[in-house]
Every structure is written in structure tokens, then in C-alpha cells.
Amino acid sequence: MLKGKRLTLRPVVEEDWELRYKWLTDPEINSTLPSGNGIPLTPNTVRERTRKYAESNDKSVYFTIFNKEDKSIGNAQLYKINPWNRNAELGLWIGEKSEWGKGYGTEVVEILVNFAFSRLNLHKVYLTVDSDNIGAIRCYEKVGFYKDGVLRDEVFKNGKYVNRIYMSILETDIIKT
Ligand SMILES: CC(C)(COP(=O)(O)OP(=O)(O)OC[C@H]1O[C@@H](n2cnc3c(N)ncnc32)[C@H](O)[C@@H]1OP(=O)(O)O)[C@@H](O)C(=O)NCCC(=O)NCCS
């Protein structure tokens, strides 16, 4: 379990699949996720993936996010953990839309970055985000992520191409801020 001021992140268990299916099939959420490609998800696919995410391994860790009322509100993960380069990719979604805009996204990123640097001994955490996802970019910048680069017209969604942005934070950035 990872604990923040208000949120708790507990490793995903297989039983989380139904909630994850509900969140992932919400078009507003699915279209924001780098993994969302418009191909409809089936319950079987999500259940199978959730089962895999629930297995411990040293390459990735998936969490379900709980608020103070002990309600599951979303997913967060560190994956592609690379012990040689000492980096990992971060991903998250707050699946309960009523919980957006309460600072939870920012808190989740802070918790994961702190875990990555102080427990996993990583040097860098990176992520990708679509350039039209203003809320997510603001959330990452608030924690101290920098924009590393832009992949032009990387994603086709809602009838047009959008850029995808690479962002990262180094352990030394934390000391500076
Ligand atoms: C993106 C997401 C994680 C942000 O989480 P959140 O809890 O709503 O964000 P926070 O409340 O921590 O807000 C962080 C900052 O972003 C701003 N922000 C949030 N949503 C915004 C929006 N839609 N437009 C403009 N600014 C926004 C907030 O005002 C805040 O900045 P401030 O403190 O300067 O006011 C959440 O909206 C979400 O899960 N969306 C769907 C999935 C997704 O986009 N995942 C990320 C994929 S890369």
C-alpha cells in the first residue's frame, strides 16, 4: 500500500476488473489514454489484463486508487521498470469523473514519483500525454515534470491528428524544487 495525504494506492487485484471495465469503456476517459486506440474493449480482455496486472513482477506495478471514504476512484501504474537505466513509465486515470478537479491526480503522481525515487531507487520517471489533454499536462507540470519532446501528429482521434508529448522528471529535479 502507498499512502498520500488523502489517497491510498493498493495493488490491483483481479476483482477490480469490473470497475476498470466501466472506466475504460467511458469514451471520455478511453480517448485520453495513450493505450486507448478506439478498438472496443470486451469484458474478457479487461478481465484477462487485470488478472495479469494483479500478478507481482519486477517490471510493473498497477494500483487501484482509494479516496478517504475508501471508494475506488481510478488506476495508477509504474511500468516498463528498467533497473539498468533506472527509469519507468507512469500512467494514471481517475475513472470516477465526479472526482476530477479535486487535486487527486496531482496527489497520485506525487505518490508514485516518491515511490519510484525513494523506494525503487529509480533515476527518472517518464510518461506520454496527448497535447490536447490540458488537465493532465498541468497536473504533471505541478509535480515537476518537464516536456522532453513532441511526436507530431502521433494520434488520430475524433477525426483529427494530435501531437503526443513526452514528459519526465529526474530524481535531481525533486531536490531542486
Ligand atoms: C488528467 C487527470 C488525471 C487529472 O486529475 P485531476 O484530479 O482531475 O487533476 P487535479 O485536480 O490534480 O488538477 C491538476 C491541475 O490541472 C488543472 N486541470 C485539471 N483538469 C483540467 C482541465 N480539464 N482543464 C484545465 N485545467 C485542468 C487543475 O486546475 C490543476 O491546476 P491548478 O492547481 O493550477 O488549478 C484526470 O482528469 C483524469 O484521470 N482524466 C482522464 C484520464 C486521463 O486523462 N489520464 C491521463 C492520461 S496521460
The DSSP annotation for 1-27 comes to: -EE-SS-EEEE--GGGHHHHHHHHT-H
Cα 84 to middle of ligand 1, angstroms:
32
- Counting atoms of ligand 1 from 1, which one is nearest the CA of 95? 39
pLDDT by residue (tens digit) across 58-98? 999 999 999 999 999 999 999 999 999 999 999 999 999 99
Contact yes or no for 12/53 (Cβ under 8 A): yes
* Cα–Cα nearest to 177, from 145, 155, 152: 145
The one-character DSSP state at 97 is G
pLDDT by residue (tens digit) across 156-168? 988 899 999 999 9
* Reduced 3-state DSSP string for 71-87: CEEEEEEEEEEECCCCE
Cα 162 to middle of ligand 1, angstroms:
18
| Complete domains list, the chain, with CATH | 2-176 (3.40.630.30)
Does this model's pTM top 0.75? yes
